Structure 1
Amino acid sequence: MTTNERWLLIDDDAAFLEILQRALKRQGIEATGTHSHAEALHALDTQGFGKCVLDLNLAGESGLQLLPELLTRIPGLDVLVLTGYGSIATAVEAMRRGAVNYLCKPVTVHQLISGFEALATSPELRHEPPSVEEMEWEHIQRVLNEHEGNVSATARALHMHRRTLQRKLQKHSRWRN
């Protein structure tokens, strides 16, 4: 990745944008943060970008609606879609509309960079959405974190039997190790 490549960041969370911009700057990547559709389009018209990180939910508006317009204005733009609540349906729709990757929050700056770098080394990954297992695992982890690690509360929130959740957690930890 070249250090002079500019990224466009589109997210309505000002704190997240600020942290992400600083983290990218430490990696030698200049990034411009925008909070809305209008700001993003204005930035595209006035600056050049090679990559874009687009939040799926922009203050109640869908980032998926903005995606085709971004690609119309800059056809070679690589757009990675971020979401706090991922689903297979939105992942597939984002890819169908032209996103090159789809990640669930929270993410690190290294995961974002890797999300773009994987495309350079493996072009066949450009349109492969996350697997059902990955999406399920991300959702389980998000709900588990919301319930501070309480397996019983998490199982209730997921409308899942506690033992089923425990088996999924154990299976995944064995698979990862």
Structure 2
Amino acid sequence: MSDNNSDKIGPDPSLLLVDDDAIFVNRLGRAMEKRGFKPRTALSVAEAEQMIAEAPPAYAVVDLRLEDGHGLDIVDHLRERRPDARIIVLTGYGAIATAVAAVKMGATDYLAKPADANDVTSALLSTKEALPPPPNNPMSADRIRWEHIQRVFEQCDRNVSETARRLHMHRRTLQRILAKRGPR
């Protein structure tokens, strides 16, 4: 990236990157450092929460699903410690419900993997409130069903039994649906 982002970053370039994929998070850390950020990396919820307690960063990129918990817990924890932080939720399991939950909890934006360092930088430094352009291919009926299930699941605090009861589904059927990626 040829233009210098350091003048857009602000006085505190601290960045926390949280992802359980060590290779990805280290590669992203190096790329973000080249763009003027001062990244620290964490591979778990526990490690990220410790880093936030020590020094809450001005920026964060948090994976949604981690080995020891949920990335939304990190968003909530960072928002309590540093209300002005710009937080991006990054995930390979994109769903409207989790995007809405992330934004409601204080995330600045939500990006689906694969997102590169340019996408992350743009999202972290974006100040415009404009809506994105409409999709070229609207969602299929199967995708809309899956999104609805994800929305109810988030509203039930990710409780499978309660979600199954509200959707009038068998719990095991719901578990199988939740374990799969959403249809395209």
> What secondary structure, in the 3-state scheme, does the structure 2 residue paired with 1:107 have?
coil
Does the 8 Å CA contact 2:75/2:106 hold for their aligned counterparts? yes
Which residue pairs with 2:124 in the alignment? Answer: 116
Candidates 83, 96, 102, aligned match of 1:88: 96
The count of corresponding residues between Structure 1 and Structure 2 is 137
In 1, the alpha carbon distance for the partners of 2:34 and 2:49 equals 26
Which residue pairs with 1:61 in the alignment? Answer: 69
What aligned pairs does 1:92-107 form with structure 2 within 5 A after superposition? 92-107=100-115
Which residue pairs with 1:151 in the alignment? Answer: none
Residue 44, structure 1, aligned to residue 52, structure 2: yes
Residue identity (%): 34
Candidates 31, 35, 38, aligned match of 1:30: 38
Q: TM-score, normalised by structure 2?
A: 0.64
Q: CA deviation at 1:64?
A: 1.4
Q: CA deviation at 1:26?
A: 1.5
Q: CA deviation at 1:2?
A: 3.1
AA at the equivalent of 2:72: L
Q: 1:159 to 1:96 in 2, by over 3 A?
A: closer
Does the 8 Å CA contact 1:88/1:135 hold for their aligned counterparts? no
In 2, the alpha carbon distance for the partners of 1:53 and 1:63 equals 10
AA at the equivalent of 1:2: I
Does the 8 Å CA contact 1:52/1:77 hold for their aligned counterparts? yes
Q: TM-score, normalised by structure 1?
A: 0.67
In 2, the alpha carbon distance for the partners of 1:103 and 1:110 equals 12
Residue 13, structure 1, aligned to residue 21, structure 2: yes
In 2, the alpha carbon distance for the partners of 1:158 and 1:66 equals 24
In 2, the alpha carbon distance for the partners of 1:101 and 1:77 equals 12
Which residue pairs with 1:2 in the alignment? Answer: 9
Q: CA deviation at 1:60?
A: 5.4
**RMSD of aligned residue pairs (Cα, Å):** 3.1
Q: CA deviation at 1:35?
A: 1.0
Q: 1:37 to 1:70 in 2, by over 3 A?
A: same
In 2, the alpha carbon distance for the partners of 1:64 and 1:97 equals 7
AA at the equivalent of 1:98: G
In 1, the alpha carbon distance for the partners of 2:108 and 2:14 equals 17
In 1, the alpha carbon distance for the partners of 2:183 and 2:16 equals 38
AA at the equivalent of 1:28: G
1:113-144: per-residue Cα shift (whole Å, max 9, x none)? 101222x2x1x35xx7997768959xx9xxxx
